[in-house]
Homo-oligomer: A and B are copies of this chain.
Amino acid sequence: MSALLSGVPAADGFRMPGEFEPHSGCWIAWPERPDNWRLGAKPAQAAYTEVARAIATSEPVTMAVSDAQFEHARTVLPAEVRLVEISTDDAWIRDMGPTFVVDERGRRRGIDWRFNAWGGLEGGLYFPWDRDDRVAAKVCEIEGADRYRAPIVLEGGSIHVDGEGTLIATEECLLNHNRNPELTREQIEEALRDHLGVEKIVWLGRGVFNDETDGHVDNLACFAAPGKVLLTWSDDASDPQHEISADAADRLEAAADAKGRPLEVVRLPSPGPIEISAEEAAGVDAVAGTLPRRAGDRLAASYANFFLGTKAIVFPLVDERHDDEAAEILRATFPGREVIGVPAREILLGGGNIHCITQQVPAVG
């Protein structure tokens, strides 16, 4: 049961909470398509299963899965993960799922953004994407959350908020002409304010190097708490990531948040560079209209792309040279939470990471 609402959340008194605020649970969608996931998605399914298992140790997890994969998913997922049939085009519920907003009366509603597979016919990653675009409504029905159908194209991974009026995003993504070409920067800012209950938008420039999402902020940086941002960082001046991260740090350190506070920037090491191997590329079906996976292409690996749970941090293990350092920084940043690393190369090969495959449901009441 989910009524379709008119109006906008902010005008109704709703705001998007920070991911670090308490959750009532988390959604994930099961990977399946063999033109994105190698070897019939079996290695990716194993990685998703471990992410679900890690999150489920401390908060309820619901897995959205197609009818075709329902029985298989049930046999491999832990019993405590709730399984719900939802057809998708791929497995990135951060981006296709609803963004939940809450109000002070303890109500929770969902925002159902328009979705165009990260760029529609201009650089989108596959065609069609209509099943993905129906996911948010279905999640809202099961969560019993009334729903706003937002009039703009937006993916959940392209924004982060502090829950206190501040939003970070990249110009590369939100101002990309393949999302909302008819809107100016000011109109997009207005839509963000109207829907997420934010006042201040801190614009970063580009996202992680070679990120096929057109630079989602969630692969580059995130709020650890109000006033504190984690940022992926490379000291190597010959790495194109260096300049991107330096620019982001400059902008963050020059900014004030909605409350007028400066932003502390905590630097996470940049993994890699990590490339797709020939064997990995050979495991993926070639399909016209789907972004190919080619040997030697650089993967947009980042430790910033982690799940920030109520009691646990679930972060990607992607590079033995840096995993421990990343874990240490996350432990220091989130002293009250268990920090759990999950091998995530198979998720990374599909074009994203642990934050991209999760969507939290904020706690209410």
Contacts and interface: CB of A to CB of B under 8 A. Distances in A.
A142 B84 contact: yes
Interface in A110-167: 131, 134, 137-138, 141-142, 144
Nearest to A141: B83
A107 B142 CA distance: 21
A67 to B, nearest CB: 4
B134 A81 contact: no
A295 interface: no
Contact of A70 (B1, B4, B79, B138): B138
Contacts of A67: 87, 131, 134
- Binding site of A, secondary structure by majority: helix, strand, loop or mixed? mixed
Contacts of A84: 84-85, 138, 141-142
A85 B3 contact: no
A138 B3 contact: no
Interface in A304-355: none
Contacts of A1: 60, 79-83
Interface in A61-96: 67, 70-71, 74, 79-87
Interface of A: 1-4, 60, 67, 70-71, 74, 79-87, 131, 134, 137-138, 141-142, 144
